[in-house]
Structure 1
Amino acid sequence: MNLIDTGIEKGLIRFDEDQNFITYVHQGKKRNYNNPEEKVQAETFLTLVLIYGYPENRIKQFIPVQMGSETKEADIAVYSDDKCEETYILVECKKEDLTDQQFNIAVDQAYSYAVAEGAKYVWTTSRIKNQYYEVPDKKPKSRIEIPDIPQFGINKLAPYKYVKGGISQTDTDDINIVAEPNPNVKQKFFELQVVSESELTKIFIQSHQALWGGGQRNPSVAFDELDKLIFCKIWDEKHPRKTGEPYDFQIFRDEDPEDLLKRIKKIYAVGEKEAPEVFKDGITLSAQETLTIVKYFQRINLNKTDLDSKGKAFETFMGSYFRGDFGQYFTPRPIVKFIVDSLPITHKSRVLDTSCGSGGFLLYALDKVREQANEFYDPIKDEKDHYKYWHDFAEKNLFGIEINDQIARTAKMNMIIH
């Protein structure tokens, strides 16, 4: 069950009949749910209660914060006591459609509120991007970036947040809420999240804008660099690891951005070795730029996001970008799927797309043959035969032609990843 449905069921929130207004029951506060920021606020509040386990009576929303002679309003404060006198976590919520520059302003704002309130931790979120800090006791203005805020009852944070086989970030089923702080309670880690087409599109667009920097970098170069990191992200998801082992494409505590960049380059080196004609240019991003992009992508699972959503999101982003710069147009995914479904493609067919773009037709043809393999072989019991059935088709019978080098590299990368 998702956060909103569980929140309604447990009496944490309620909506009016038309779902135009949300009421936070404990505080009796009614807010306009049509406000994009309020949707983020609601999910963040429910995450604190349902996923992180904080008691509802220790959370206050829309609280006044005295900043010099001015009174500001903080979105959410979590307290370490039942009287709500000791601020523990301060949270700032922003709408999803936010530039990286606007998000950074929100981070500064949240941190200043946290220092004023004496909070120990800070969380700034737009849902698309999250940033967490610890406020040191001796020098509160010296920020310590951390991978997550602590869950209720946890005093010491682990150096990472995302692991294979972790709990869901949004699904409340099978999550045990801690009633009281317990020294024996261990921190829960999170599995990567499958996201919607619209959310993925926003991640692509905002991360590209962050690299482009409004003209500081050529948008074409920014696209290439983003493409490389997307490859690293999917490759890391596919890398064999045991349950409980952390993913590499994420922020670790007490890690310098240079260390993160080295780890990402190590993932990219695998691609350079396996397909040097595609990965002929290394990653040229700075450590800080790499850190920015990792923050956008670290929580999501690109590999398990379905092909339709992934393709539509990627080409919505690519379409808006390439139409402006190169006059390129991409066939809508429903049409691609319809055409491929209509063709009698088998693993023995030879398939050629003479204007392949980012490889949409090729990917759907490959996906069709991969599904046919399921009819003959069990993907687990007959793994080798299943793999050979579709992989031989991909390696020997699937071809594409593309005049634009940049888009051709994207198509090749797409095929390697899939």
Structure 2
Amino acid sequence: MKDYIKIGLEKGYISLNEDMSRIIYLFQNKEYSYNKPEDKVQAETVLRLILDYNYPARRIKQFVPVTMGREVKEADIIVYEDDACMKPHILVECKRQEVSEAEYQQAIEQAYSYAFALPCDIKYVWVTSGIKSDYFEVDKTQNSRNQMPDIPQFGVKTVASYKYVYDAQSLPQIAGEQRFFDLSVIDQAELTRRFKQAHEALWAGGQLNPSEAFDELDKLIFCKIWDERKPRKIGEPYDFQIITVSKEEEKNENKRRLIENDNLYKRIMALYEEGRAKDKEVFRDNIRLTPEKIRTVVGYLESINLGETDLDSKGRAFETFMGSFFRGTYGQYFTPREIVQFVVDVLPIQYDSKVLDTSCGSGGFLLYALNKVRTKASQLYPKYKTDTRQYKHWFSYWHDFAANNLYGIEISEQISRAAKMNMIIHDDGHTNVITSDGLIPEKVIMEKTSNQGFQYGTFDFIITNPPLGSTIRQSEQAYLKTYQLGKKEEDWLAITTPPKNTRDGQSSEVLFIEQGYKFLKEGGYLAIVLPDGILTNSSMQYVRTQIEDWFRIIAVVSLPQTAFMANGAGVKSSVLFLKKWTKKESESLINAKKKIESRLLKDNNYLSQRQAWEKEIKAKQKEKANEIKDQQRISITAAKQTDEYKSWNADLLAEYANKIDELKSRMTDEYQQSKQKELVDYPIFMAIAEEIGYDATGKKTSVNELNAIGEELKKFINTL
């Protein structure tokens, strides 16, 4: 998008004082405030009238007095037909960019009241917030207004029913004929504002809640992107814009608007169905907005070019908007950008790598993986923007990866749709993002989605931040029994096998470790964010043991307590990097452990010692029961029910339990020592990050230790 202020300064139309608090319109020799948001909108609008619409600067006046009964108001801008500035031609009302839809509609009415209060006839009214504009033709004699797609440029008498066409800059400019506009590339901040304004306009009236409004806005953004991708001839109008009906076609103002809305509704529905036919998984339900609401959203988005907007800018804009909306309710679906970038940067992901996030949330890990491959493509084909052959290779390099190698699973349908839209906005990668429980078996996933890409043992990388704190219960999810970590661990020091093997429940993050193992091919990498309890609590030793058997542990990077506080989670966590053993390596490791266990059991006469203690306990219990029986002249059964026996027996069992615990503890220590001596030893990268680029509230900070840690970890992984 043009930087009108910069151009205005260069061409000498305006100047700014040193602290940029005042603006001087040099062609008027007038100085005004430049502090408020609406001041900037007004300055840009004046310059657009000169630069885009070719109106002579001398015919433009600002803050023109308008008598309203006994009050005197000021019209922001008036463009005159004559050099003497006696015949008003266009009245412009400027509002700040963040103006609400209700306030914007009030501004339209205010502009009309000014137009009708002016002593002379005025032809046109333009209301703008900088990110949204409405144009009207005024007829005081008929007390009517006719909405137009644009105001006429200088010297133009007739305005077409639309404003935006494909490749408008290639059309010849003929004096006296309307100039059409192409779509504009805008920056991240403005795009974020447009998304937010459109969203607020949908729910502020109360017909939709914010969550429903987000879904409907998603659908319209999808239509916008699809419209931009449609092949068009030079000068052909876009469908995603307000196309007006002339007053010659329909004299009644209200009927004209209904016809315009109906035509727009039909064009949007056609775009939606055309796009949905190509990918039925993107949106399963229909657009549920009224034609008037669709018109409102189109008004915010019709002028921008999402396709040409910088990928990072539009991605950040969508994520910022999406994050600001979902953060409170769905904070767990968003992994902070700094952590995502750190994880993806250190992993050797290539264009032919198959990548999966088993709980992808808004798609952050997948997007960074895509960006990593796209950056590599740009390095390999640096002239892709100007060289057709290089462009073909550049596009194929990353696009094939996006379409065929990126996979995501998200249990929330709404967040899954948001992830798809996030990927679509980044140009692609949404094809293999599915809505499903990430812990169900591969066959069920493939049957549900008809996507055969989710096969166990086929992925090179799994990068994920699973939801923390939820428990999968056997009574709710039958698949728990299919998980090794859903079963009670086998204790090599147990002398009897527990009758019930399956656990009542297991934390989801533990099961995601195993699901990652299943999805990975041999030698594949798993990078997963886990609560520190899994890595340190004695009760979770069985999980760590299983990890040892399945994976080569590459690295543990500790994150600060505040890492996820802004997202509503205060659990101390770390990023665990693992590499799946080959079947042979894993079996060899397990067998080596079993040999150590067998040897220690034999050397310590463990089984015979436990059996001997059991006999001692039973003998002492029998002796004590007989003693009480004789003393109190009661039966053996009654003797065992006395308080004396129960108290004595509790002490006896505690004494032997201590003996057993001491033996187990000694043997466990011997086991750990033997493992260290006899099993293959390898280095593990360990790091603690105290500062990670943002604080507990999510506010950016200047220090991010993950950058330096990442460089060292990347070197470490390259040596494996």
Kept in 2, the 8 Å contact 1:322–1:328? The answer is: no
2:242 is matched with: 251
Distance 2:35 2:392 in 1: 51
1:197 to 188, 192, 203: 188
Change over 3 Å in CA distance of 1:18–1:414 after alignment to 2 = closer
Q: Does 1:317 align with 2:321?
A: yes
The DSSP-based 3-state class of the residue aligned with 2:186 is coil
Change over 3 Å in CA distance of 1:63–1:383 after alignment to 2 = closer
2:36 is matched with: 35
TM-superposed CA distance for 1:167, in Å, is 4.3
TM-superposed CA distance for 1:84, in Å, is 1.1
Q: In structure 2, give the amino acid aligned to 1:125.
A: T
TM-superposed CA distance for 1:41, in Å, is 0.7
Greater Cα offset, 375-384 or 83-92: 375-384
Change over 3 Å in CA distance of 1:365–1:82 after alignment to 2 = same
TM-superposed CA distance for 1:100, in Å, is 0.7
Kept in 2, the 8 Å contact 1:203–1:296? The answer is: yes
Change over 3 Å in CA distance of 1:87–1:239 after alignment to 2 = same
1:395 is matched with: 403
Provide the aligned length of Structure 1 versus Structure 2.
Answer: 405
Change over 3 Å in CA distance of 1:284–1:247 after alignment to 2 = same
Q: Does 1:84 align with 2:85?
A: yes
Distance 2:76 2:400 in 1: 55
Q: In structure 2, give the amino acid aligned to 1:221.
A: E
The DSSP-based 3-state class of the residue aligned with 1:106 is helix
Kept in 1, the 8 Å contact 2:240–2:268? The answer is: yes
TM-superposed CA distance for 1:216, in Å, is 2.9
TM-superposed CA distance for 1:48, in Å, is 0.6
2:497 is matched with: none
The DSSP-based 3-state class of the residue aligned with 2:168 is strand
Kept in 2, the 8 Å contact 1:249–1:294? The answer is: yes
Kept in 2, the 8 Å contact 1:163–1:191? The answer is: yes
Change over 3 Å in CA distance of 1:317–1:237 after alignment to 2 = same
Q: Does 1:165 align with 2:173?
A: no
1:237 is matched with: 228
Change over 3 Å in CA distance of 1:131–1:332 after alignment to 2 = farther
Kept in 2, the 8 Å contact 1:166–1:244? The answer is: yes
CA-to-aligned-CA distance 1:120-142 (integer Å, 9 cap, x gap): 111111111111111135423x2
Distance 1:383 1:212 in 2: 42
Matches within 5 A, 1:260-339: 260-328=264-332, 330-333=334-337, 335-339=339-343
Change over 3 Å in CA distance of 1:413–1:96 after alignment to 2 = closer
Kept in 1, the 8 Å contact 2:166–2:182? The answer is: yes
Distance 1:235 1:64 in 2: 46
Distance 1:334 1:31 in 2: 42
Distance 1:192 1:347 in 2: 32
Matches within 5 A, 1:44-59: 44-59=45-60
Distance 2:65 2:393 in 1: 64
Q: In structure 1, give the amino acid aligned to 2:162.
A: Y
CA-to-aligned-CA distance 1:263-307 (integer Å, 9 cap, x gap): 011000122211223221111100000000000001111112122
Scaled by the length of structure 2, the TM-score of the pair is 0.53
Distance 1:395 1:27 in 2: 56
Distance 1:335 1:202 in 2: 26
RMSD of aligned residue pairs (Cα, Å): 2.4
Distance 1:332 1:203 in 2: 23
Q: In structure 2, give the amino acid aligned to 1:244.
A: G
Distance 1:83 1:96 in 2: 32
Kept in 2, the 8 Å contact 1:167–1:188? The answer is: no
TM-superposed CA distance for 1:260, in Å, is 0.2
1:406 is matched with: 414
2:199 is matched with: 208
CA-to-aligned-CA distance 1:355-387 (integer Å, 9 cap, x gap): 322223222322333444453696733776655
Q: In structure 2, give the amino acid aligned to 1:86.
A: K
Q: Which of 1 and 2 has greater Rg?
A: 2
The DSSP-based 3-state class of the residue aligned with 1:63 is strand
Structure 2: unaligned runs, 5 residues or longer: 246-258, 429-720
Kept in 2, the 8 Å contact 1:311–1:333? The answer is: no
1:172 is matched with: none
1:123 is matched with: 126
Greater Cα offset, 120-129 or 353-362: 353-362
TM-superposed CA distance for 1:82, in Å, is 1.3
Percent of aligned pairs with the same amino acid: 57
Kept in 2, the 8 Å contact 1:349–1:397? The answer is: yes
The DSSP-based 3-state class of the residue aligned with 2:417 is helix
The DSSP-based 3-state class of the residue aligned with 2:150 is coil
Q: Does 1:228 align with 2:219?
A: yes
Distance 1:332 1:139 in 2: 58
Kept in 1, the 8 Å contact 2:315–2:422? The answer is: no
Distance 1:41 1:35 in 2: 10
Q: In structure 2, give the amino acid aligned to 1:355.
A: S
Distance 2:83 2:25 in 1: 18
TM-superposed CA distance for 1:144, in Å, is 1.1
TM-superposed CA distance for 1:391, in Å, is 3.9
TM-superposed CA distance for 1:415, in Å, is 3.4
TM-superposed CA distance for 1:109, in Å, is 0.5
CA-to-aligned-CA distance 1:103-134 (integer Å, 9 cap, x gap): 11111101221222221111111111111111
Q: In structure 2, give the amino acid aligned to 1:132.
A: Y
Change over 3 Å in CA distance of 1:147–1:30 after alignment to 2 = same
1:133 is matched with: 136
Distance 1:48 1:287 in 2: 31
TM-superposed CA distance for 1:329, in Å, is 5.0
Scaled by the length of structure 1, the TM-score of the pair is 0.90
Q: Does 1:108 align with 2:109?
A: yes
